[in-house]
Amino acid sequence: MPDHEGESSGFLLLDKAPGQTSFEALGPVKRALATGKVGHTGTLDKFASGLLVVLAGRALRLSPWVSHCDKGYVGTVLFGEETDTLDPEGSTVARAPVPPLELLEEVLPRFRGEILQAPPLYSAIHLDGRRASERARSGENPAMKKRPVTIYELSLLSWTPPLAQIRVRCSGGVYIRSLARDIALACGSRAYLRELRRVTVAGFSVEDALPPEDLMPGARVLLPLDRAFFKALGMPCFEGDLSLLSPLIHGRPLGPLLAGLELKDSPDTKETPAAVFAGEQFAAVVKRSGDGDWSYGYVFAGH
């Protein structure tokens, strides 16, 4: 999808390897596309692997609607010790007995549904203008305020003491490192997250993702912002014709423009935003305002 500036806009699914930061994983993408206008929509820790949904060009403006999507993970929790970072890169700060399987199975249901979770101290959360991880490395120990998150699925895949493999499907904002810590504490133990792989983001799967080493300079790897993209995000689509483009570009009132248009895959909730298509072209994202009317989120066409 070419931009007016000669760059391209679209998305791709990237399978990040462990041992590299999410930012480093974007290097091959930038070289393949010959642009720096590339960004991922949800950081994976350096030790973790798996799915990054990458946006390029003007599609970067869609980041807010991707980064807050539900995510799925498979992780390996090591019981018996806890590190300061809650991952294998940290230093051991506590030890405790490994819990029996029966106790672990008894505790897991407590972490399903809406829960309160404190992010790890070593995280990108900003506290008074500084990242929590920066404050921790300088010797501070700030309190990490708990916040509501939702765990839709939490299952035990295997148990080979002291290792438990778990599957998690959760809302955006969940830290699986914190989940491992809290499950262990509920068992009277300690733990850290030894391995983590993100397997889904919304309706996107890591099975369809490319490893960074497969990206060659000049490769055509971007996928279009088509109806399938928005369906994967759980976003319904207004279907119009090309006559919509000019009034959308000029910010005309949405009420008359959208009246009578079909809203495909309309959700039960009125809080879900929608994509607007003019013929085969993605034109805009619209969202509900407080009174239930549609308002502009982002106009893609014409920029």
Taking CA atoms, 270 is separated from 1, 42, 121, in Å, by 30, 25, 36
Q: Is 230 helix (H, G, I), strand (E, B) or coil?
A: helix
Say how far apart CA 130 and CA 175 lie, in whole Å.
19
Structure tokens at 96: 């405790």
**CA 163 distance to own-chain centroid:** 26
Query: Of 45, 87, 208, 214, which one is the catalytic site residue?
Result: 45
- Cα–Cα distance measured from residue 212 to residue 17, given in angstroms and rounded to the nearest whole number: 8
Count Cα neighbours of 297 within 13 Å in the Cβ-side half-sphere: 21
d(CA 252, CA 255): 9
Whole-number Å distance between alpha carbons of 220 and 217: 9
Q: Are residues 261 and 240 in contact, defined by beta-carbon separation less than 8 angstroms?
A: yes
Instruction: Please tell me the distance from the alpha carbon of residue 149 to that of residue 114, in angstroms, as a whole number.
Output: 6
Structure tokens at 299: 């106009």
Active site residue 84: no
The alpha helices in the chain, defined as continuous H runs, are: 22-25, 27-33, 63-67, 101-107, 132-137, 176-186, 227-232, 245-249, 254-258
- Cβ atoms of residues 44 and 264 within 8 Å: no
d(CA 281, CA 237): 12
| Cα separation, 48 vs 17, whole angstroms | 7
Q: Which residues are catalytic?
A: 45
